Amino acid sequence: MPRDNRLSRSLHVLIHLDRHVKRATSDTIAKMLDTNPVVVRRMMSGLREKGYVVSEKGHGGGWELRAALSDISLLDVYQAIGSPALFSIGPAAESSPCLVEHAVDARLDEALNEAEAMLLKRFSQITVADISDDYLAKMKKLGLPSDTFPDCSE
């Protein structure tokens, strides 16, 4: 089962819009993420609905950041992309008469719900600016100027 990478990709794009490109077309973002512009538009639409980005069509158009990275948490972005499933494991999907399966499913459900609540709480404590700061620290450690545009299309 392939992983849902919309959260990491959305965070990636938000930081680029803040640090490097200011405005980018869906085609430009698609090349950076090695995907299709339609996928980009679909992914970015939730961010636009929440007011984190805006988009303009036509010549000179593109996606532009509208909120400070410090005002956007990982939880905000997670919710903007539709709150996808956090775990690919879980209880059996179909109902079973087996009491062993009932016990297994109940404990799995309880543990997964607790883990999800903890993870979402942690997401609420991390801002996109925190991640951007991590990126800048990596640039500094490598001796690269903070305005260096990373080539993400390799």
The tens digit of pLDDT for each residue in 21-62 reads: 889 999 999 999 999 999 999 999 999 999 999 999 988 889
Please determine, for residue 154, whether its predicted confidence score (pLDDT) is greater than 60: no
pTM for the whole structure: 0.88
d(CA 66, CA 52): 5
24 Cβ neighbours under 8 A, 6+ residues apart: 13, 16, 17, 32, 62, 63
56 Cβ neighbours under 8 A, 6+ residues apart: 62, 64
Among the four given CATH numbers 3.10.28.10, 1.10.10.60, 1.10.620.20, 1.10.10.10, the one describing domain 6-141: 1.10.10.10
pLDDT tens profile 54-87: 999 988 889 999 999 999 999 999 999 999 999 9
Is 146 within 8 Å of 140 (Cβ atoms)? yes
Cα dihedral: 122, 3, 130, 148 (round 10): 180
